Structure 1
């Protein structure tokens, strides 16, 4: 793709947002636009990312403290929790 100069008309809201970005980051117009394009591109381009990285970026990977056999006895744990909660509400 060739590097071409082009005009991209922006509405007033976009101009204000761009001015704010430039002010906060001390970037010129071109650098602010390049950074915005790069961030958006990285956000939507998942073809080069391993699934774990995608899940981490989406906040779907984490950890918690619990029983190591929770996948086996989760129904019992949930039932016990709900029973205890119900008993607490009766008091």
Structure 2
């Protein structure tokens, strides 16, 4: 498919800068911009769990079953122990 587009001076300068920085011709720069924009839009349609999984933010660990209740105390104990270890 061939397209004819009109760019104002500012967009023309931006495109020239992109081409200069990436060593891409006009078509490659436009294709990459379209692909990036498409991926940006498409990623917002994903459920949060899928996004978190792709980012590596979903996992599990071993710990106390009541950690959600006493996490502040556990964190304080951990920091105190770490501080004492650093003093030695």
Taking structure 2 as the reference length, the TM-score comes to 0.58
| Pair 1:10 & 2:22 matched | no
Q: How does 1:11-90 map to 2 (within 5 A)?
A: 11=14, 12-19=16-23, 22=24, 29-45=26-42, 46=44, 48-57=45-54, 59=55, 61-67=57-63, 69=65, 70-90=67-87
Of Structure 1 and Structure 2, which has the larger fraction of its residues in helix? Answer: 2
User: What's the C-alpha RMSD, in Å, of the aligned pairs?
Assistant: 3.0
Taking structure 1 as the reference length, the TM-score comes to 0.57
Instruction: Give the superposition deviation at 1:60.
Output: 6.7
Instruction: Give the superposition deviation at 1:89.
Output: 3.5
Query: What is the aligned length?
Result: 80
Identify unmatched segments of 5+ residues in structure 2.
none
Three-state SS of the structure 2 residue aligned to 1:61 is coil
Identify unmatched segments of 5+ residues in structure 1.
23-27
